[in-house]
Amino acid sequence: MSDTPPNILTEADVLHLFEESGALLSGHFVLTSGRHSDRYFEKFQVLNQPRHVEALCRELAARLADTKPDVVLGPTTLGVLLAYEVAKHLGLPAAYGEKGADGRRFLRRAEQIAPGQRVAVVDDVLTTGGSIQECLDLVQVQGATLCGVGLLVDRSGGRVTFDAPTAALLPMAVTSYPPDAVPDWLAAIPITRPGSTGKK
């Protein structure tokens, strides 16, 4: 494993990067989980810029180095980019958890993660932890061991936890609401569906 640099990005640095990129949005959003929120992280605005990806993933690699992974796993789609880049900084192979027709994550080449290996799982924005949990299930199916979790943003405010050291570059408590409990002030704002070009 290659040497990694000391932590060089603070939470304020990461927040500034998201704000400067136009990636931290305000409005009325329906998240992937189906919950509603007045804040949304448009990570594409950050992850389409190689210099930002380089800086963020170098920082994640530095924070995950002490967990001593053998491989870095990320879920499709953007998790692939993060897994590759973090693994590059750690001098390790990367693996990618694709979603099958049954909704479970799988490895297109199962040998990418061998039984007994230590696996670090990385992802972009944590809200409910669904994508990460799917990857953790995949690690277990492969007979490997979860050694760490790396996140760009933890918007759960620490409410979602995992059975391994977790590094979040930007912990931020952002309230979200189930569809049947959206407050009136938020319901009054037209819904923007992330990834779409307009409001519905």
Which string of DSSP letters, residue by residue, matches 49-84? SHHHHHHHHHHHHHHHGGG--SEEEEETTHHHHHHH
Question: Residue 8: is its pLDDT beyond 50?
Answer: yes
In the chain, how many domains are there? Answer: 1
Residue ranges of E strands in the chain: 24-30, 36-41, 71-75, 94-99, 105-106, 118-126, 145-154, 166-171, 176-177
CA distance 25 to 174: 12
Other beta carbons within 10 angstroms of residue 37's beta carbon come to: 21
Evaluate whether 29 touches 36 at the Cβ level (below 8 Å): yes
Which pLDDT band holds residue 139 (cuts at 50, 70, 90)?
very high
Q: What are phi and psi of 194, to 5 degrees?
A: -50, 135
Q: What is the pTM of this model?
A: 0.85
Report whether pLDDT(34) > 90. no
> What pLDDT is attached to residue 120?
98
**24 strand-pairing partners:** 41
Residue 5, domain member (yes or no): no
Mean residue pLDDT across the chain: 89
**Beta-sheet strand order (sheet of 94-99):** 105-106, 94-99, 71-75, 118-126, 145-154, 166-171
Sign of CA dihedral 123, 125, 128, 130: negative
Give the domain CATH number at 72: 3.40.50.2020
Does residue 4 form part of some domain? Answer: no
Is the pLDDT assigned to residue 197 strictly greater than 70? no
Would you place residue 159 in the very low, low, confident or very high pLDDT band (cuts 50, 70, 90)? confident
Query: How far apart, in whole angstroms, are the C-alpha atoms of residue 97 and residue 76?
Result: 6
Residue 162 lies in a domain: yes
Q: How confident is the model at residue 199 (pLDDT cuts 50, 70, 90)?
A: very low
Domain contains 80: yes
Q: Residue 114's domain spans which residues?
A: 14-187
Domain assignment of residue 6, yes or no: no
The answer to the question of residue 38 being in a domain is yes
Does residue 9 sit within a domain?
no
Q: Is residue 1 in some structural domain?
A: no
Condensed to tens digits (0 to 9), the pLDDT of residues 63-110 reads 999 999 999 999 988 899 999 999 999 999 999 999 988 988 999 887
For residue 5, pLDDT beyond 60: no
Residue 198: its pLDDT value, please? 37
In contact, 36 and 30? CB cutoff 8 Å:
yes
Phi/psi of residue 148, nearest 5 degrees: -175, 160
